Amino acid sequence: MSDSSREIAEIARKIEAILFISTEPVKVTELSSILSVSKETVEEALHRIKAHYDSQHGFTLINVAGGWQMATASDLCEVIESYNSSYGYRLRLSKAAMETLAIIAYKQPITRAEIEELRGVRSDKVLETLLSSGLIRVAGRKKGTGSPLLYRTTQEFLEAFGLNSLSELPTEEELRNEGNIS
Alpha-carbon gap, residue 49 to 13, rounded angstroms: 9
- H or E, element range at 152: strand 149-153
Domain that holds residue 150: 95-179
Say which DSSP state 145 is in.
Answer: T
**16 found inside a domain:** yes
Domains of the chain: total: 2
Alpha-carbon gap, residue 97 to 119, rounded angstroms: 11
- Does residue 104 sit in the same domain as residue 170? yes
- Does residue 35 sit in the same domain as residue 102? no
Q: What is the CATH number of the domain that holds 40?
A: 1.10.10.10
Reported as a single tens digit per residue, the pLDDT across 132-181 is 889 999 999 999 888 999 999 999 899 888 899 999 998 888 877 876 66
Q: Which residues pair with 152 in a beta bridge?
A: 137
Reported as a single tens digit per residue, the pLDDT across 39-77 is 999 999 999 999 999 988 998 999 998 899 998 888 888
**What is the pLDDT at residue 172?**
80
**171 found inside a domain:** yes
Alpha-carbon gap, residue 131 to 59, rounded angstroms: 30
Q: Which residues pair with 141 in a beta bridge?
A: 149
**What is the pLDDT at residue 113?**
94
- Which stretches of the chain are DSSP H helices? 3-21, 28-35, 39-56, 77-86, 95-107, 112-119, 124-133, 155-160, 172-177
What's the pTM value of the predicted model, to 2 decimals?
Answer: 0.56
**Contact call for residues 150 and 109 (beta carbons, < 8 A):** yes
Alpha-carbon gap, residue 39 to 41, rounded angstroms: 5
Reported as a single tens digit per residue, the pLDDT across 92-129 is 788 899 999 999 999 999 999 999 999 999 999 999 99
